[in-house]
Amino acid sequence: MDDEGNWKANTLLLGAVIGALTGVGAAYLLIKRAESQGEQPRLGTGEGVKLGLMVLGLLKRVGELGDGGS
């Protein structure tokens, strides 16, 4: 594989690993919180929308990383 394709594949692989680890960590924290409260974890519609908007905002910021802006 040429250098250009290699860095692209490596970047995608690294992003996938980071995303998976972040997801597992978030699920772990959700489970621990639910266990401390003695109930099963529940994510309501409002919380789901808030979480989705936060993820979109995070993705926007990640996309801006190479722009040099703040």
The model's pLDDT over 20-39, given as tens digits with 9 standing for 90+, comes to: 999 999 899 989 999 999 98
Distance CA 70, CA 67 (A): 9
- In the predicted model, what is the mean pLDDT of residues 40-46? 87
How many domains, the chain? 1
Is 70 within a domain? no
* Residue 44 CA neighbour count, 13 Å, CB half: 2
Distance CA 44, CA 53 (A): 14
Report the sign of the C-alpha dihedral through residues 53, 33, 27, 63, in that order: positive
Domain hosting 17: range is: 3-63
pLDDT of 5: 67
pLDDT of 41: 83
Please, which pLDDT band fits residue 62 given cuts at 50, 70 and 90? confident
Residue with the larger pLDDT of the pair 68 and 18:
18
pLDDT of 68: 67
Is 56 within a domain? yes
Is 68 within a domain? no
